Amino acid sequence: MNILIFTASTGGGHKRAAAAIEDKIRTISPATTVNVVDALESIGKAYNKTVCGGYHFMATKVPKFYGKCYKITDRKTLMFKGVMKSNTMMSNKLLKTIQKYSPDVIIICHPFVTTMISKLRAEGKTNVKAIGLITDYDSHRTYFVPNIDAYVVAEPYMAKKLESDYGIDKSRIYPYGIPVFDKFSHPVLSKEEVCRREGLDPNLHTILLMAGSFGVNSVAKFYTQLAKAQTNAQFIVITGRNKRLYDHLQRLEERLGSLSNTKLLYFVDNVEDYMHISDLIVTKPGGLTVTESLACRLPLAIYSAFPGQERDNADFLISQNAAIKLNPEHGSEQIFDLLNSPEKLEEMKKNCEKLSIPNSAENIFKLARKLYNEK
């Protein structure tokens, strides 16, 4: 069997989900051919830059406008029709990539690509089986088109919404969860081993800040609150590939004199180690960050959420008592109140565990094999 996974660079979540599926397939079925391709980039650099750059600009610079557009395109409006039409115009360019890899099944991690493949199948230009993967905890109308064989959603309640709001037949809906690497569900090292390696105290409350998506000023302000207010706690701050933010926080850390209780990190490829030893993660609620945290039984403290899918993710987590929403001015108080309430914190950890769906990547592969056998 030959599987092609289409991803995109509108945020890191699509690529992380694709990588988790690829890793699982290569582990359990070495005979299966699997390729991961950035679909928007394969269409053309200009198109990729327009879509990804436009998304990043709107989400970070004009988030309220982005939120309005997100809501409008979730209904059968002229804007929705325009978005779908513009996507289908690129379908023939995507066809070249499909023909190059000649897949039996395509797994799609971005809604724009789902629209293109639906158009190609409707025109008889390909008969490849297609699975749409939704990498957030709520759905959006742009995902749902004819000629897609299956939709994989993050949690069971979404399946009901797909039926009631979008008219998707339940036989096409699979609540298999968002795929993450096994290492998030199954820690390789114990807490004591990780703390010893990192120079941390396993007996202190540990707060993990995933700062890569924040602006420099907001992270600095919030970290300052925590560092000044901390009592019997230590911090792990990961800035991702944001060197400017890393340098800024390093200077701030030195001025605060908190070197002894802060582990400041740039880009890391073992974030699961830090999640497993933490009591709480302060982050924005991107779909993959949420899923990885849930797999680690790690409650979330949500500092900020873009209107749209991030806010939907936050609302879902809060409704399930797996996260709290932080007040920018009093967030440190909320965090330490929670850490000093062990019963409440343990309940949130249990809720995270309940929401986590293990073996998502393996089940998606099994679904692909089922569709291939039908073909």
Residue 343 sits in the same domain as residue 322: yes
Give the model's pLDDT for residue 329. 83
* % of the chain with per-residue pLDDT over 70: 96
Check whether 154 has a pLDDT greater than 90: yes
Could you read off the pLDDT of 48-104 as tens digits, one per residue?
999 988 888 888 889 899 999 999 999 999 999 999 998 899 999 999 999 999 999
Residue 133 sits in the same domain as residue 239: no
Give the model's pLDDT for residue 246. 86
Beta carbons within 10 angstroms of residue 309's beta carbon = 24
Averaged pLDDT of the chain: 92
Give the model's pLDDT for residue 227. 80
Compute the average pLDDT of residues 110-115.
Answer: 94
**Tokens coding 116:** 């293109």
Give the model's pLDDT for residue 274. 97
Could you read off the pLDDT of 267-290 as tens digits, one per residue?
899 999 999 999 999 998 999 999
Check whether 212 has a pLDDT greater than 70: no
- Count helices and strands (H / E) in the chain: 18, 12
Q: Is 359 helix (H, G, I), strand (E, B) or coil?
A: coil
Higher-confidence residue: 293 or 217?
A: 293
Could you read off the pLDDT of 231-272 as tens digits, one per residue?
789 999 998 888 888 888 888 777 776 555 889 999 899 999
**Tokens coding 296:** 């680690």
Contact 107, 128 (CB under 8 A): no
Domain that holds residue 92: 2-178+358-374
Query: In this structure, what are the phi and psi dihedrals at residue 38, rounded to the nearest 5 degrees?
Result: -75, 105
Residue 146 sits in the same domain as residue 200: no
Beta carbons within 10 angstroms of residue 27's beta carbon = 12
- Tell me the CATH number at 100: 3.40.50.2000
Residue 22 sits in the same domain as residue 168: yes
CA distance 343 to 323: 15
Beta carbons within 10 angstroms of residue 263's beta carbon = 16
Give the model's pLDDT for residue 226. 84
Check whether 222 has a pLDDT greater than 90: no
Taking CA atoms, 221 is separated from 224, 307, 332, in Å, by 5, 22, 11
According to DSSP, residue 263 is labeled E
Residue 191 sits in the same domain as residue 329: yes
Q: Give 13-35 as a DSSP string.
A: HHHHHHHHHHHHHHHH-TTSEEE
- The helix (H) or strand (E) run that includes residue 35 is strand 33-38
Contact 295, 184 (CB under 8 A): yes
Residue 58 sits in the same domain as residue 157: yes
Give the model's pLDDT for residue 242. 83
> pTM of the predicted model, to two decimals?
0.93
Residue 165 sits in the same domain as residue 282: no
CA distance 342 to 132: 40
Compute the average pLDDT of residues 366-370.
Answer: 98
Give the model's pLDDT for residue 346. 97
Higher-confidence residue: 346 or 59?
A: 346
Check whether 201 has a pLDDT greater than 90: yes
List 325's β-bridge partners, or say none: 302
For residue 12, count CB atoms less than 10 angstroms from its CB and return exposed for 0-12, middle for 13-18, buried for 19 or more: middle
Give the model's pLDDT for residue 306. 87
Which amino acid is located at 122 in the chain? A
CA distance 344 to 58: 37
Residue 81 sits in the same domain as residue 224: no
List 168's β-bridge partners, or say none: none
Check whether 10 has a pLDDT greater than 90: no
Give the model's pLDDT for residue 158. 94
Residue 204 sits in the same domain as residue 169: no
Give the model's pLDDT for residue 230. 65
Strands ordered across the beta sheet of 173-174? 33-38, 2-7, 105-108, 129-133, 150-152, 173-174
Is the Cα torsion angle 197, 200, 206, 211 positive or negative in sign? negative
CA distance 90 to 86: 7
Q: How far is CA 249 from the centre of its chain?
A: 25
Determine if residue 103 is left, alpha or beta; phi over 0 gives left, psi from -120 to 50 gives alpha, anything else beta: beta
Residue 122 sits in the same domain as residue 173: yes
Taking CA atoms, 88 is separated from 129, 145, 325, in Å, by 18, 11, 38
Residue 174 sits in the same domain as residue 281: no
Give the model's pLDDT for residue 278. 98
Residue 113 sits in the same domain as residue 60: yes
